[in-house]
Structure 1
Amino acid sequence: MLGMVLAAGAGRRLRPYTDTLPKALVPVDGETTIMDISLRNLAEVGLRDIVIVVGYAAQAVHERKAGFEEKYGVKLTLVHNDKAEEWNNAYSLWCARDHFAQGALLVNGDTVHPVSVEKTLLAAPETSDILLAVDNVKKLADEEMKVTLDEGGSLRRITKLMDPAEAYGEYIGATLIRPAAAERLADALKATFERDPQLYYEDGYQEMVERGETIHAAPIGEVDWVEVDNHDDLAKARTIAVRY
């Protein structure tokens, strides 16, 4: 199994930090970046082969690749998303399809969370080929990627376009992808971005559900984490990253 980080996005709401850097390289604790935390977490759970999907300002990741490898004892493979500034991340994850065929623990490159999230996913029973890390404690608003489950605990719906009151919780941008799911996931992602290039990879998960697939959720418990989309999020990230 590989570690995988999606880090191709431009992060325009974080300018001027992202004028020359991808969002994943924005510092959140001194010189420690969001990418540092992602790599450190994956290495801590034994995932030493890590794929990073890059796009916007990819050269900045290339320039730090050797340093990251030495610091965290990992081997990095960079996969290029050639449409990173035009299309959304359903295509971005599809670009890494040959790699997640080996199985992957995927994390979004704009999420600051503790390693307990990775440990929760890896320790969960093998009840489905795709397992989503979900925060069912946090109070939700409109921006979050929300999920609902059926009576058996399987994913029913995943979307930002949901009344927060209806949601079970928030998908936090971390997924365990088992090898058996890879071909079906790749096909669902392709159908998703061909329908609309601006859709999210989570819409690919919804596509799989609508095809009859079973996807389960793993509650992460009461955890301090944040998806860094804007300057308010970055300020929060900087208050919690120092505690990891």
Structure 2
Amino acid sequence: MHAVILAGGKGVRLRPYTTALPKPLVPIGDQHAILEIVLRQLSAAGFTSCTIAIGHLGHIIRAYVGSGSRWRLRIGYSTEESPLGTMGPLLTMRDRLPEHFLVMNGDILTDLDFADVLRAHQESRAPLTIATYPREVHIDFGVLTTEERRVVAFTEKPSVDYRVSMGVYGVSRETLTPYTPGLPLGFDELVLDLLKAGNPPHAYEFDGYWLDIGRPDDYDRANAEFTTHRSLLLKGA
């Protein structure tokens, strides 16, 4: 089983923590980098190889991770010379990827079963599988529904339930065929293209632990919760 970790972003929203370190290497719990936790999880789940897409401060990631042998993984690298979006880096390595593989952001903490996501993707025969997580959004205002300048409905401070993308995907190499290597390709563009073509992605629903470390508040929460969730995140690793 093969995984691609997207680790080329500048981590602008997480500054100042990412001024000197790439976001996947910021420490969690004063002991582990985010990327180390992810690599340990992938190894424990049965993955044997991994490609890390690097860009900003990528040489530091190379120096830290090396060949991946300490996690019993064969790790290679793909360098992003200019921003290519979420899915664009996959195009430059397309010919080196297996028929089905896992793709994930390098800045998430979760106890998601990565191997099961890939298995579900293969079984679904869908072009793309998206791991999804429930989110509840509270609206702090009274919400009006209007038609032709008339108020036809009113709801006081409603809550809206969504399922959001976790930044973990099962991808089939064939799905990338229509796109040109070296050009940017966003996750949103890919999903909209698949929907337009009548070939919708498969949803993998997950309700466990998930934290996207995108902002300083998220990073502070991750550190505060790591002691409690350490055995959950590193079980079997």
Give the letter aligned to residue 78 of structure 2.
V
The CA distance in 1 between the partners of 2:108 and 2:202, in whole Å, is 21
Identical-residue share of aligned pairs (%): 24
Aligned length: 208
Give the letter aligned to residue 174 of structure 1.
V
Residues 187 and 101 of structure 1: is their aligned pair in 2 closer, same or farther, counting only changes over 3 Å?
A: farther
What CA RMSD, in Å, does the superposition of the two structures yield over aligned residues? 2.6
The CA distance in 1 between the partners of 2:14 and 2:40, in whole Å, is 23
Matched, 1:230 2:215: yes
Is the 8 Å Cα contact of residues 5 and 38 (structure 1) preserved in structure 2?
A: no
Partner of 2:136: 139
Query: Which of the pair has more CA radius of gyration?
Result: 2
In the superposition, the TM-score normalised over structure 1's length comes to: 0.75
Displaced runs of 4+ in structure 1, greater than 4 A? none
| CA deviation string 1:84-125 (max 9, x = no partner) | 3xx5333233333233344211111111111x3314414537
Partner of 1:110: 107
In the superposition, the TM-score normalised over structure 2's length comes to: 0.77
Matched, 1:204 2:153: no
Q: Please, which runs of 5 or more residues in structure 2 have no aligned partner?
A: 140-158
Is the 8 Å Cα contact of residues 50 and 74 (structure 2) preserved in structure 1?
A: yes
Give the letter aligned to residue 239 of structure 1.
A
Residues 71 and 30 of structure 1: is their aligned pair in 2 closer, same or farther, counting only changes over 3 Å?
A: farther
Is the 8 Å Cα contact of residues 132 and 217 (structure 1) preserved in structure 2?
A: yes
Residues 205 and 228 of structure 1: is their aligned pair in 2 closer, same or farther, counting only changes over 3 Å?
A: same
Give the letter aligned to residue 170 of structure 2.
L
The CA distance in 2 between the partners of 1:210 and 1:37, in whole Å, is 37
The CA distance in 2 between the partners of 1:9 and 1:141, in whole Å, is 30
The CA distance in 1 between the partners of 2:116 and 2:136, in whole Å, is 21
Shift of 1:176: 1.3
Is the 8 Å Cα contact of residues 68 and 74 (structure 2) preserved in structure 1?
A: yes
Out of 154, 159, 164, which is 1:170 matched to? 164
Is the 8 Å Cα contact of residues 185 and 208 (structure 1) preserved in structure 2?
A: no
Residues 227 and 141 of structure 1: is their aligned pair in 2 closer, same or farther, counting only changes over 3 Å?
A: farther
Equivalent positions of 1:1-244 (< 5 A) are 1-66=1-66, 69-84=68-83, 87-114=84-111, 116-124=112-120, 126-127=123-124, 128-135=126-133, 137-140=134-137, 165=160, 168-177=162-171, 181-188=172-179, 190=180, 197=184, 200-221=186-207, 223-242=208-227, 243=229, 244=233
The structure richer in strand per residue is 2
The structure richer in helix per residue is 1
